[in-house]
Structure 1
């Protein structure tokens, strides 16, 4: 397994994509940066991280031999690998806030950005970007952010955490390769934040409504039971769950 450590780069996903375009990259090659100048989150949001205190990295995965119809399963695999890693390091009250923010209680400790490449109408490779708050203890103007150190009071070796994440990625990608879609989806849904609890949402037009999170679809849409007893699906960024 190849690990490339950088002091700084624009974004680890971008670096890894450039590397893949210029040479053959082996599975689970990882690019780890102390600082990202253009770190990104889902749908173009910015990921801010204090230099050298956290894990900001990307992992290369060849998925050309996988029978993947719905790319959301790559997000499921990644989220589950992170959850199992955090449990290993004694982080409790974990959940995944749809689509793939990792929380401890109601505080965000990890975000995921996945970029897939399609060739010949088939998913070919995946660039998995992960930002995990490890040893940072101050988050200016981010009241919902937390870190492993804040939660446990312990200092963590980021290399040890990285290796545990990759080990768990290998485990869950093996399940995906074996087409264990139902198993993966059920485990992901068991961690869904506020599942089966009365919750408040706001849609893209600013309208507020209530509902119960029930599950996710294979395409990754959130399935919410509304007040009229109808389950409606919502795609990424069309609704926001209010805390």
Structure 2
């Protein structure tokens, strides 16, 4: 399916690995030109080189710390005329109210919550002046399926869901669409590391992590491209009447699924 994204300019944060890197691949396959942002410059350069060679698209790398307001402003300025923004960066830790202190909580939200909000503010203003744009927030199903042992993520994701719906509910007045995706468990380094820790705690052997994953729908987490392909579709005009909504991709877990 041709999504008519050829030549579009896409800014993706947290693009060095996982869902962000998969999104970069999906948009590059559609012929979009990319701005990739993350802290790991080496990983970004390796990805950029591969995408340029494979898909003959322009790829610009931005090694930035999205917790820093100056870095956010510089990113928005250097990315220029962005048609599509994918907010994806985040590394919220697990833990309960008792175990996560204020400094850790604020540090996590500076990237995932305020990082999304502040970069959206900068890019939205530029899109509004140009008269079009799409903003996709990669949030997470913990904002729907609350977990007291992931309380920082559940609260942050719920806030970003509300932010996405509130902004996307009126953004079509500016010819801008704002949507969100709530992935459940995805086969990223972070989820695999978490599964290993759970296996160690439950079985005393981290190499039994596949037994943890076997309890998921289809006996596996989602593939990063299953999230990224939805991002590409939502960014396209084939989804041109979609705004202010959250698409959950979790194999039915939030609907009571799983084994």
Q: Normalising by the residue count of structure 1, what TM-score does the alignment of the two structures yield?
A: 0.31
Higher RCO (C-alpha under 8 Å, 6+ residues apart): 2
Q: Normalising by the residue count of structure 2, what TM-score does the alignment of the two structures yield?
A: 0.30
Bigger helix fraction = 2
Bigger strand fraction = 1
